[in-house]
Structure 1
Amino acid sequence: MVTNRPKHILVIRLSAMGDVAMTVPVILGVISKYPQVKITILTKAFTAPIFNDIPNVSIFKADVKGRHKGVVGLWKLYKELKTLQIDAVADIHNVLRSTILKQFFRLSSIPFVQLDKGRAEKKALIDPNRSTFKPLKTTFGRYADVFSALGFSVTQSEMKTLLQKKVPDAFSDFTSIGSQQLIGIAPFAAFKGKMYPLALMETVIDQLDKTNQYKIILFGGGAKEVEVLGNWEKQFENCTNAAGKLSFSDELALISNLKLMLAMDSGNAHLAAMFGVPTVTIWGVTHPYAGFSPFNQPEENALLSDRNKYPAIPTSIYGNKFPDGYDRVMETITPNTVIQKITELLDRKA
C-alpha cells in the first residue's frame, strides 16, 4: 500500500478491446471518489476513443508496432512517459511489455503495482476434474485491487458508467423511429467457442424483424463479418449494418443510444455495458464464473450453454480451447430462449 496518495497515475491497459472497456467503470469510480487525482491511460490508438470525455483522464498512445516496439522501443516509451511527471503506475494489464516497463520505472523509484490475473484460480476453473465450481473475483474487482494498493480504494457500488452520447449523423434518423426500439446485435467473437452459430442467430434476427417492434443495428468488423452483416441488412427490413460505416468513436456513440445489446462473451458486450445499456450475453465454452461478465448486468442476462450435457464447461478462459464434441454447445441455447430474454428486458423497460 502506498502511504501517500499519488497525484498523477499512469494506467497501463493495452488490449484487448473488451478488457480495455472493463477499465472504464473502475476509472470513473476512482475519478468520482478522488477528484484531485489525474490519470493518464497508456493504451493503443484504436482503443483511445473509449476514454474520450472522461474528466481528469488523458491518453498516451502506445505505438507497439512502431517506435515503441521491442526493448529499445519500450525504453523510449519509458523516457516519454517520464516527462509527464508520473507519481505511480497502475499496471492493469500485466504482460511482458508492462513488466519490462516496470523495471525501467524502478530506476526512478516510482511505485508500480501490477494486476493479479488469478492464473492459478482460472486454471483450476477450466480443469474438467475440478473439485469445486464457484465464481472467481471479477475483472473489475481485480482492477480495483490495483488502485487500492495505490491508496485509491473503490467498491463496485462506487463504480460508474458513461453518459449517453449524441447519435452519429449517419444514424440520426434512428432517434425518431416511432414505436420501434433500437437494439444492437454483435454476433461475432474472436474464437469459435464463444460464437453463437450464425444459422441460429439468423433465426433470432428473423423473428425479431418480423415483429416490426425493433430497429436492429448489427455490429462487427473485418471483411468476412461485414459481408455476413451486409447480407442480413439486405435480407431483413428492420436491420441495418453499422460495421465498416463508422469511426470507432461514432460506433461507441451509437452503442450508447441502444435500448439493448445482444452479444457474445466479447468486446461489444463490454462496450455496451460501460454505457449502462442492458446487455444480453450468450456463452459457449466460456463461463461468467471466470470474472468477465459485463459491468452491472444481472446474472440472468447471461444465457449459458447446458452444463448438464457438457459438464466440462468452461473449457477455457478465452474460448479458444474445447474438447471433442464441444463444438456445438451453444446449440443448447435455442433462438426462442434468446428472443424471450430480449423481449422480457425490453418490456420491463417500457
Structure 2
Amino acid sequence: MKRIIVTRFSAMGDVAMVASVLKEFQQQHEDTEIIIVSRKLFSAFFERIPRVRFHILDPNYKHRGLTGLYLLFKELKEYKPDYIADLHNNLRSRVVGFFFKLAGFKVQVLDKGRQEKTALTRPKNKIKSPLTPTTERYAEVFRQLGFPLILSHKLQKDYRLIPTKLLGPLSSDQKKIGIAPFAQHRYKVLSLEKMEKIIAYLASRDIYEVFIFGGGEKEKAVAEGWSSKYPHVYNTIGSFNLSQELDIISHLDLMISMDSSGMHMASLVGTRCLSIWGATHPYAGFLGYGQQYEDCIQVEHPNRPSSVYGNKPCDCDGVEAIDLISAEAVIEKIKKVCE
C-alpha cells in the first residue's frame, strides 16, 4: 500500500475541492492510502472517501510557529509516507515540505498559476480567458508524483441519510432548494434585500422547500428572520454540524450559492448549483467541481474580475460588480431549471 501525505490547510471551499479530487483519485488507485492534513472542522469532507485518514492541523496552539510545524513534521513522519503532496503552497505547507525534503522524501508542490491570475485580475490589459481549474492543478501534483489521474469533471451523487430534524421537508414531493447567501468577503455577497426577494418568490410558489446554509451568529439571525417570515423556509445555521449539512445538501434538487464554500459542498455530494459571481469570475479556476459554466449567474463587464478571492472591490461604471445582478435574473434562472 503506497502512502501519500496531502497538505491543504484552508480555506473551506479549497479543502472541499481537494476532497472531490481525492474521491476520484481513490477510485483509480486502490493500492494507495492518503493522510490528509487540515483543520479539524474539515474532516467531514473526507469521511466517506475510502483509505483516507485525517490528521488534524492545530495552527493556533500545537502547530504554531516553526517549532509547531517541526512537531507536525515529526507526527506525519510516523506514518512512514512514500510521497508528500503539497496542495496549498503557502508558508506553513512549504516549511513542512522543506523538512520532508531534508529527510529525503519526494515532495511535489501545487502550482497556483499566480502570473496567469494576476493577468486575469489586473485593472488594465486583462487577459480574460479561462485558466486551469484548481481541481486540475491539484490533480497535476499527483501526476508529477507518478500517479496517473483522469478527472471526470462530472457530479457524482452521494446518497446520504436525512437528518431526523428535517425528515419531513426533505421527504416531501416539493422541490428542495438550498441557499448559501453569505461569503467571507462582502464583494461576493448579493445584497440581503435581493436575496430576500428570491426567498419570497420561492416561498410564494408552494412547490419549494427552501433551506438556508452558512455563517455565524449574525448570519443565523438573518436566516431565522427569513424562516419565521416565510413558509417552507428552514434555517440550518447553528443547528447541524458540517457532516449533517452535507447530508442535507445531498437531498437538494438545486443549490444557490455565492462563489463560496456552499458551491463546493454541493459539488462534493453531487448537487447542481447555480452560483452567483461579482468581483470574482469562474475563469480563475474556482468553479465548483462538476458544475457548469452555464449555471454561473454574472454580468460581464470589462473591469471584472478584480480579484481571485473577492477581497477587493470591483467598480463597474460606479456600480459594484455583484450589484449588477438582479434578484429577477436569479429567479428566472431558477425557473428555467426547476419549473
Q: TM-score, normalised by structure 2?
A: 0.96
Instruction: Answer yes or no: is the 8 Å Cα contact 1:117–1:142 preserved in 2.
Output: yes
Structure 2 residue 316 is matched with structure 1 residue 322: no
Structure 2 residue 255 is matched with structure 1 residue 264: no
| Amino acid aligned to 2:20 | P
Which position in structure 2 is the counterpart of 1:46?
Answer: 41
Which position in structure 1 is the counterpart of 2:16?
Answer: 21
Question: Per the alignment, in what secondary structure is the counterpart of residue 211 of structure 2?
Answer: strand
| Amino acid aligned to 2:295 | N
Instruction: Answer yes or no: is the 8 Å Cα contact 1:204–1:339 preserved in 2.
Output: yes
Question: Per the alignment, in what secondary structure is the counterpart of residue 4 of structure 2?
Answer: strand
Instruction: Answer yes or no: is the 8 Å Cα contact 1:168–1:254 preserved in 2.
Output: yes
Give the whole-Å Cα distance in 1 for the aligned partners of 2:153 and 2:262: 23
Which position in structure 2 is the counterpart of 1:111?
Answer: 106
Question: Per the alignment, in what secondary structure is the counterpart of residue 173 of structure 1?
Answer: helix
Structure 2 residue 64 is matched with structure 1 residue 72: no
Which position in structure 2 is the counterpart of 1:337?
Answer: 329
Which position in structure 1 is the counterpart of 2:83?
Answer: 88
Structure 2 residue 205 is matched with structure 1 residue 211: yes
Give a deviation string over 1:25-78, Cα, whole Å, max 9, x none. 211111111111111100100111110021111100111111111100111111
Which of 161, 165, 183 aligns to 2:177? It is 183
Q: Compute the displacement of 1:129 (Å).
A: 1.4
Structure 2 residue 338 is matched with structure 1 residue 346: yes
Which position in structure 1 is the counterpart of 2:229?
Answer: 235
Q: Compute the displacement of 1:93 (Å).
A: 0.6
Instruction: Answer yes or no: is the 8 Å Cα contact 1:30–1:159 preserved in 2.
Output: no
Question: Per the alignment, in what secondary structure is the counterpart of residue 185 of structure 1?
Answer: strand
Question: Per the alignment, in what secondary structure is the counterpart of residue 164 of structure 1?
Answer: coil
Instruction: Answer yes or no: is the 8 Å Cα contact 1:204–1:335 preserved in 2.
Output: yes
Equivalent positions of 1:161-176 (< 5 A) are: 161=156, 163-176=158-171
Identity of aligned residues (%): 38
Question: Structure 1 residues 18 and 323 mapped into 2: Cα distance closer, same or farther (>3 Å)?
Answer: closer
Instruction: Answer yes or no: is the 8 Å Cα contact 1:285–1:316 preserved in 2.
Output: yes
Q: TM-score, normalised by structure 1?
A: 0.93
Give the whole-Å Cα distance in 1 for the aligned partners of 2:332 and 2:260: 21
Question: Per the alignment, in what secondary structure is the counterpart of residue 283 of structure 2?
Answer: helix
Give the whole-Å Cα distance in 2 for the aligned partners of 1:109 and 1:203: 58
Equivalent positions of 1:287-326 (< 5 A) are: 287-307=281-301, 311-324=302-315
Q: Compute the displacement of 1:106 (Å).
A: 1.4
Question: Structure 1 residues 299 and 96 mapped into 2: Cα distance closer, same or farther (>3 Å)?
Answer: same
Give the whole-Å Cα distance in 1 for the aligned partners of 2:15 and 2:245: 16
RMSD: 1.5
Q: Compute the displacement of 1:327 (Å).
A: 5.3
Q: Compute the displacement of 1:157 (Å).
A: 1.7
Instruction: Answer yes or no: is the 8 Å Cα contact 1:28–1:159 preserved in 2.
Output: no
Instruction: Answer yes or no: is the 8 Å Cα contact 1:186–1:268 preserved in 2.
Output: yes
Which of 7, 23, 26 aligns to 2:2? It is 7
| Structure 2 unaligned residues grouped into runs of 5+ | none
Q: Compute the displacement of 1:197 (Å).
A: 0.9
Instruction: Answer yes or no: is the 8 Å Cα contact 2:304–2:314 preserved in 1.
Output: no
Instruction: Answer yes or no: is the 8 Å Cα contact 1:189–1:266 preserved in 2.
Output: yes
Instruction: Answer yes or no: is the 8 Å Cα contact 1:94–1:114 preserved in 2.
Output: yes
Question: Structure 1 residues 255 and 160 mapped into 2: Cα distance closer, same or farther (>3 Å)?
Answer: closer
Question: Structure 1 residues 163 and 323 mapped into 2: Cα distance closer, same or farther (>3 Å)?
Answer: closer
